[in-house]
Amino acid sequence: MAIKAEHINYVYGKGTAFEQHALKDVNLEIEAGEFVGLIGHTGSGKSTLIQHLNGLLRATDGKLYYNGRNIYEEGYDMRALRSHVGLVFQYPEHQLFEIDVFTDVCFGPKNQGLNKEEAAKRAKEALTMVGLDESYYKRSPFELSGGQKRRVAIAGVLAMNPDVLILDEPTAGLDPKGRDEILDQIKRLHEERNMTIILVSHSMEDVARYVDRILVMNHGEKVFDDTPKEVFQHYKELEAMGLAAPEITYVVQTLKSHGVPIDTSITTIEEARDEIIRLLGK
């Protein structure tokens, strides 16, 4: 497996008046090549959890393994870990600093020790992936729109060519088209390069459409860990946590309660369409 966490606990501000137990006994395993969604209401500990996965935060208690090795053991190379596990932060556009877009994207590969040509090649690939063409290369990152900055920042992590890519709400504040483009691109990376993806999202529709497995966080604890179909069956409990299932779940559940023999494990509009056509055709 790629990542395995055992009994992870994390307390912010330990020993101060502002102690905050942000993660409580979290266990999880993520296999190489999986596409996992991480959902949970605001403040449930999603961002805290993913910062453990590349060693930016050190668990107050618990163990974390990457490819079978305990990352907390003496002498573990954290910088190497960070180039295998790429992390795109929430609002990553705030981390841009170089004079132009291209140099900024080169920052990661250069830190990995690649030479100029290799770094440039990686940067080019990454920028193409996020849909920015050469006309952007020499522009200052600060004069771009919010969505364009977001793409540059994502490219900055993609250029490091990580094995595991973690994205913390990569689509927050983007228009529907931009959102679909970015998510489709991530999907493609997953399929073509077999990259392991962890996607933090508030949008149940996105999660239902793209991921193989969902982890649900609530008040620092992992409460569900299953396929979207299974997790969205618990839509009542999700609601109690301040979350919701995709709209379509409500449609099929309502149809079912009115006596329509519909399959309630449907999570996307396309599936629902096919199922309804099948039912009508009968």
Partner 1 sequence: MLKDITLGQYYPVDSILHKLDPRTKLFGTMVFIISLFIANDIWAYVIATVFLASAIKLSNVPLKFMVRGLKAIVFLLLISVSFNLFLTPGTAVVSLGFLKITKEGMIVAGFMGIRLIYLVVGSSIMTLTTTPNQLTDGLEKSLDFLNRFHVPVHEVSMMMSIALRFIPILVEETDKIMKAQMARGADFETGNLIQKAKNMIPLLVPLFISAFRRATDLAMAMEARCYRGGEGRTKMKPLKYGNQDRVTYLVYVLYLAAIIGLRILRVQIF
Ligand X SMILES: Nc1ncnc2c1ncn2[C@@H]1O[C@H](COP(=O)(O)OP(=O)(O)OP(=O)(O)O)[C@@H](O)[C@H]1O
Interaction with partner 1 in 60-89: which residues (CB under 8 A)?
79, 82-83, 86-87, 89
72 binds, among ligand X, partner 1, Mg ion, none (CB under 5 to 8 A by kind): none
End-to-end CA distance of the chain: 44
Binding-site partner at residue 44 among partner 1, Mg ion, ligand X, none, CB < 5 to 8 Å by type: ligand X
Q: What is the smallest separation between the CB atom of 230 and partner 1, expressed in angstroms?
A: 32
The yes or no reply on residue 48 touching Mg ion (CB under 5 A) is no
Contact mark string toward partner 1, 148..187, x via CB under 8 A = --------xx--x---------------------------
Work out how close the CB of 53 gets to ligand X at its nearest, in angstroms, rounded to a whole number: 13
In whole angstroms, how close is the CB of 93 to Mg ion at the nearest point?
Answer: 15
54 binds partner 1 (CB under 8 A): yes
Does residue 47 touch Mg ion according to CB under 5 A? yes
- Site of interaction with partner 1 (CB under 8 A): 12-13, 16-17, 51, 54, 56, 79, 82-83, 86-87, 89, 92, 94-97, 107-108, 111-112, 142, 156-157, 160
